[in-house]
């Protein structure tokens, strides 16, 4: 008679369950790709920002407007004083120019585009008045692969997806089994508890590889995303990240008796990391007070390490401390999972 | 290894207590329970909702720890060599939802893989009549087929002791009878079966012996025949009066062959040993009291009557209305 090995049967069951569920396939593979495409297009070849400038009615208003219109980025209109104020408040214009002596710029200094507009309008007016710049300067725009927003985004999306996939694919799945009393049913058999946990982890590792391929592949094929690092280093890093995040998934699943509880716990863990850990923009943008917190989150270090390895071709050993921190999160999670896990 | 002496009980428990403490105070789900289950028998735990059947069976299964009391299963105790015990018992929980996107055969192979020795999953499918559903997803099975799958998962490790918690609840009569056949065949193969139910007909037909449980205690134990004859009479006369029932119980208590009188909203029930004596006497009494009869019927006494006799309540809440 055929001998069945429990670990491989549990693993096969997990794989079958996963591939037979079209919804999860969508969320794990299609959703990040659509997000990459959407954001990639939104931030690609952005036309030069147009600057809306109003000139307050005045005898020389027409003249001022004419000299500003010579620059193609400016959209210039002349309005009465109250109209100008209203339009500024409503954000329809970034800046109001009040001709006179001196020329006055009316704007809100906390609006970045207003500050920018003030600089540019001032420049244009000074030049029109005959200013000669003593230092000749020139602009060159960088849009080559490796420095664009999409290049920043793709590794971040991969990090986000590995975290979400591990949390849902391990945490949610296990709590769902507990709700269905299937965990209790398993516990009533001679099944080794470790086999069950290994199969959950093994399943997660198996689904992770296509995730990496699909997300990075989309970047390479659609956006010319540059992969400068060693492919095995990237895979190793992804494996480490997914395993560590799976530990977090197990941890939230330890005791939760309802899928609502575990969904809440997972969001509590994932949301701050998606926001703070440098998925969509650099974590350095957040205030100093948040930095110590940001620096202990595993996804922060995962994203930094992944960007370094992929975009700069950094070696894994150069990322040692980041890897160690990610591994420590995983280790601590597994330790407490083994102590706290409930089968019924 | 087990000794094969037939006298040695497969399960024995003494002074079993299980207390749940929660926000609303504590519940004594099992409250001093003594049981002995013999090798090869089909033993039933019969009781209403909340009687403590599931709690008791899950303590035997090693899934719950008793608050106090002593339990021995197959000559072993939980906590000593649990894996060995688990290799030899089969379990069907009151409520398990198997993974919907696995097929019947995949699920059985999975459960088979947990056991050192066991049955061929295909044979088990035959035994419970799920052969033609082998490749169907569990999500596509009917309720009865899922129950049979649960029993199949309990069988696939070739257990010598089988626990079935309400295996037929919610099934139509046809599916219930099919499951009964499966259980009888197992018993013939030498398997000891412990099942819980709140269907008295199921207990009567399937069980060699049973314990009637209420509020966590055994209130009666024996074979179905013994329990019924314990009523003093094996027949029931049920009747109703045209102008309603008053406090008339005393009127009929003294009639010849009448052992017990009970009345409820549906009418009056007499437990009698010899209906051919009791009925003429009853009719005579009604006539002399100028009471008019609306309905009269007789039937064999059942375990339901045993339960009502012991507790004054019905096994299931819907029982009162379903007698009409
Ligand atoms: N986990 C628990 N926490 C608190 N009380 C519980 C728990 N499980 C069961 N009980 C209580 O213990 C008592 C016995 O429950 P049990 O499930 O053993 O009854 P049962 O005889 O199996 O009933 P049913 O026929 O409805 O399945 C009930 O009063 C129930 O409310
Ligand atoms: Mg129960």
pLDDT tens for each residue of chain B, 324 residues long:
444 455 679 999 999 999 998 888 889 999 999 999 999 999 999 988 899 999 999 999 999 999 999 999 999 999 988 999 999 999 999 889 999 999 999 999 999 999 999 999 999 999 888 999 999 999 999 888 999 999 999 999 999 999 999 998 878 888 888 889 989 999 998 999 999 988 888 888 899 999 999 999 999 999 998 888 887 778 889 888 887 666 677 788 888 888 888 887 778 888 888 889 989 998 998 888 888 888 899 988 888 888 888 877 777 665 444 443
CA dist A289 → A9, A276, A293, A295 (Å): 49, 12, 8, 11
Tens of pLDDT, residues A179-217? 999 999 999 999 999 999 999 999 999 999 999 999 999
Tens of pLDDT, residues A110-168? 888 899 889 989 988 888 888 888 888 888 776 666 678 889 999 999 999 999 999 99
Q: Which of B100, B113, B116, B153 to mutate to test the interface with A (most CBs of A within 10 A)?
A: B113
How many angstroms separate the CA atoms of A46 and B270, rounded? 92
- Give, as one character, the DSSP assignment of residue A337: H
Return the CATH number of the domain spanning residue range A51-128: 3.40.1710.10
DSSP lists the bridge partners of residue B52 as none
B116 Cβ under 8 Å from any chain A Cβ? yes
- Which 172-191 residues of chain A touch chain B by CB within 8 A? 177, 180-182, 184-191
A22 Cβ under 8 Å from any chain B Cβ? no
* Burial annotation B120-129 (CB, 10 A radius, 16+ → b, else e): ebeebbebbb
Closest CA to A20 of B149, B96, B100: B100
Residues of chain B with Cβ-Cβ distance to A12 below 8 Å are 106
A-B C-beta contacts closer than 8 Å: 70
- pLDDT at res. A136: 84
Q: Which of A11, A174, A190, A343 to mutate to test the interface with B (most CBs of B within 10 A)?
A: A190
End-to-end CA separation in angstroms for chain B: 54
Residue B51 CA, ligand 1 centroid: distance in Å? 7
B102 Cβ under 8 Å from any chain A Cβ? yes
Q: What is the ipTM of this complex?
A: 0.85
- pLDDT at res. B18: 95
How many angstroms separate the CA atoms of B245 and B320, rounded? 16
- CA atoms lying within 13 Å on the CB side of residue B251: 18
| Beta carbons within 8 Å of A202's beta carbon, 6+ residues apart | A11, A14
Most distant CA pair in chain B, distance: 74
Residue B199 CA, ligand 2 centroid: distance in Å? 13
Tens of pLDDT, residues A38-54? 888 887 655 567 788 99
> E strands, B54-160, where?
68-73, 89-92
Q: In which residue are the tokens 């006799």 written?
A: B309
How many angstroms separate the CA atoms of A4 and B189, rounded? 25
Contact B114 A191 (CB under 8 A): yes
Q: Which of A185, A187, A191, A257 to mutate to test the interface with B (most CBs of B within 10 A)?
A: A185
How many angstroms separate the CA atoms of B191 and B183, rounded? 9
Nearest residue in A to B62, CA atom: A188
DSSP lists the bridge partners of residue B236 as B271, B299
pLDDT at A37 over 60: yes
Judge residue B202's burial from the number of C-beta atoms within 10 Å of its C-beta, 0-12 exposed, 13-18 middle, 19 or more buried.
buried
The protein residues having their C-beta less than 5 angstroms from ligand 2 (an ion) are B 53-54, 94
Nearest residue in A to B151, CA atom: A185
Taking the CA of B45 as reference, the closest ligand is: 1
- pLDDT at res. B24: 82
Tokens of B14: 């003494």
- pLDDT at res. B320: 46
DSSP lists the bridge partners of residue B31 as B17
Nearest CA owner, ligand 1 atom 4 = B20
Residue B53 CA, ligand 2 centroid: distance in Å? 5
Domains delineated in chain B:
9-223 (3.40.50.300), 232-300 (3.30.70.980)
pTM score, whole prediction: 0.81
Q: Which of A184, A189, A194, A342 to mutate to test the interface with B (most CBs of B within 10 A)?
A: A189
More reliable by pLDDT, A138 or A336: A336
Q: Pick the atom of ligand 1 nearest to B213's CA.
A: 21
**Residues A71 and A117: beta-carbon distance below 8 Å:** no
**Identity of the residue in B63, B96, B110 whose CB atom sits nearest the CB atom of A10:** B110
B76 Cβ under 8 Å from any chain A Cβ? no
Tokens of A200: 């959950």
Residue A261 CA, ligand 2 centroid: distance in Å? 25
Q: Pick the atom of ligand 1 nearest to B56's CA.
A: 18
Judge residue B155's burial from the number of C-beta atoms within 10 Å of its C-beta, 0-12 exposed, 13-18 middle, 19 or more buried.
buried
How many angstroms separate the CA atoms of B47 and B33, rounded? 14
Nearest CA owner, ligand 1 atom 22 = B54
Phi, psi of A114 (to 5 degrees): -70, -45
CA dist B318 → A284, B14, B297, B315, B323 (Å): 67, 33, 20, 9, 9
Contact B113 A13 (CB under 8 A): no
For ligand 1, whether the C-beta of B62 sits within 6 Å is no
- Residue boundaries of the structural domains of chain A: 6-43+145-340, 51-128
Closest CA to B60 of B74, B79, B73: B73
For ligand 1, whether the C-beta of B63 sits within 6 Å is no
Tokens of A28: 């794990």
| Beta carbons within 8 Å of A117's beta carbon, 6+ residues apart | A51, A52, A53, A94, A95, A107
Torsional sign, CA B245, B251, B256, B261:
positive
Residues of chain A with Cβ-Cβ distance to B97 below 8 Å are 180-182
Closest CA to A298 of A263, A336, A333, A264: A333
- pLDDT at res. A325: 97
DSSP lists the bridge partners of residue B16 as B33
Contact B95 A181 (CB under 8 A): yes
B98 Cβ under 8 Å from any chain A Cβ? yes
Residue B33 CA, ligand 1 centroid: distance in Å? 15
Contact B102 A189 (CB under 8 A): no
Torsional sign, CA A323, A324, A325, A328:
positive
- pLDDT at res. A265: 95
Residue A28 CA, ligand 2 centroid: distance in Å? 39
For ligand 1, whether the C-beta of B114 sits within 6 Å is no
| Beta carbons within 8 Å of A284's beta carbon, 6+ residues apart | none
Contact B93 A9 (CB under 8 A): no
For ligand 1, whether the C-beta of B145 sits within 6 Å is no
How many angstroms separate the CA atoms of A51 and B55, rounded? 74
- pLDDT at res. B243: 75
Most distant CA pair in chain A, distance: 101
How many angstroms separate the CA atoms of A84 and A78, rounded? 8
**Identity of the residue in A6, A180, A188 whose CB atom sits nearest the CB atom of B61:** A188
């Amino acid at each position: 008679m055929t001998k069945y090995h429990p670990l491989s049967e549990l693993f096969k069951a997990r794989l079958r369950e996963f591939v037979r569920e079209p919804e999860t396939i969508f969320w794990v593979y299609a959703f990040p790709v659509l997000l990459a495409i959407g954001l990639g297009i939104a931030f690609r070849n952005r036309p030069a920002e147009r600057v809306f400038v109003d000139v307050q009615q005045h005898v020389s208003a027409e003249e001022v407007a004419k000299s500003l219109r010579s620059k193609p980025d400016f959209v210039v209109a002349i309005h009465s004083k109250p109209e100008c104020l209203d339009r500024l408040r409503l954000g329809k214009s970034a800046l109001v120019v009040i001709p006179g002596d001196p020329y006055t710029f009316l704007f809100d200094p906390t609006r970045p585009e207003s500050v920018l507009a003030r600089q540019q309008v001032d420049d244009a007016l000074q030049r029109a008045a005959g200013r000669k710049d003593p230092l000749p300067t020139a602009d060159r725009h960088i849009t080559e692969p490796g420095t664009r927003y999409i290049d920043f985004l793709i590794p971040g999306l991969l990090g986000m997806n590995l975290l979400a996939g591990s949390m849902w694919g391990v945490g949610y799945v296990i709590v769902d089994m507990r709700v269905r009393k299937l965990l209790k049913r398993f516990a009533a058999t001679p099944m080794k508890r470790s086999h069950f946990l290994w199969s959950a982890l093994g399943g997660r590792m198996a689904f992770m590889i296509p995730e990496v391929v699909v997300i990075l592949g989309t970047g390479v094929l659609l956006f010319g995303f540059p992969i400068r690092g060693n492919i095995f280093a990237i895979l190793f890093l992804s494996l480490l990240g997914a395993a560590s995040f799976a530990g977090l998934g197990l941890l939230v699943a330890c005791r939760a008796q309802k899928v609502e509880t575990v969904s809440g716990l997972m969001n509590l863990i994932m949301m701050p990391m998606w926001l703070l850990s440098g998925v969509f923009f650099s974590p350095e943008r957040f205030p100093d007070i948040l930095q110590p917190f940001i620096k202990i989150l595993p996804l922060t270090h995962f994203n930094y390490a992944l960007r370094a390895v992929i975009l700069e071709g950094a070696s894994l050993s150069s990322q040692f401390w980041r890897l160690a921190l990610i591994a420590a999160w995983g280790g601590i999670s597994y330790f407490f999972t083994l102590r706290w896990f409930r089968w019924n | 290894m087990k000794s094969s002496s037939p006298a040695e009980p497969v399960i024995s428990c003494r002074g079993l207590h299980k207390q749940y403490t929660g926000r609303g105070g504590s519940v004594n789900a099992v409250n001093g329970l003594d049981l002995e289950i013999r090798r090869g028998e089909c033993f039933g735990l019969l009781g209403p909702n909340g009687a403590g059947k599931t709690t008791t069976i899950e303590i035997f299964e090693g899934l719950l720890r008793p608050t106090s009391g002593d339990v021995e299963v197959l000559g072993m105790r939980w906590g000593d060599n649990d894996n060995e015990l688990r290799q030899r018992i089969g379990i069907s929980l009151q409520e398990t939802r198997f993974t919907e996107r696995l097929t019947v055969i995949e699920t059985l192979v999975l459960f088979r893989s947990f056991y050192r020795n066991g049955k061929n999953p295909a044979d088990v499918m035959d035994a419970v009549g799920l052969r033609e559903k082998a490749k169907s997803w569990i999500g596509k099975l009917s309720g009865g087929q899922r129950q049979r799958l649960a029993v199949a998962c309990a069988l696939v490790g070739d257990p010598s002791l089988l626990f079935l918690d309400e295996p037929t609840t919610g099934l139509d009569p046809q599916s219930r009878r099919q499951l009964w056949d499966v259980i009888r065949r197992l018993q013939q193969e030498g398997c000891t079966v412990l099942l819980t139910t709140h269907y008295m007909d199921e207990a009567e037909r399937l069980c060699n012996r049973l314990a009637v449980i209420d509020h966590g205690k055994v209130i009666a134990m024996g074979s179905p025949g013994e329990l019924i004859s314990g009523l003093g009479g094996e027949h029931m006369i049920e009747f109703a009066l045209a102008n309603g029932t008053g406090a008339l119980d005393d009127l009929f208590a003294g009639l010849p062959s009448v052992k017990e009188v009970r009345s409820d909203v549906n009418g009056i029930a007499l437990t009698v040993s010899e209906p051919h004596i009791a009925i003429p006497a009853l009719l005579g009494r009604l006539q002399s009291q100028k009471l008019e009869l609306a309905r009269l019927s007789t039937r064999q006494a059942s375990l339901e009557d045993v339960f009502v006799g012991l507790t004054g309540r019905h096994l299931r809440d819907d029982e009162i209305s379903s007698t009409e």
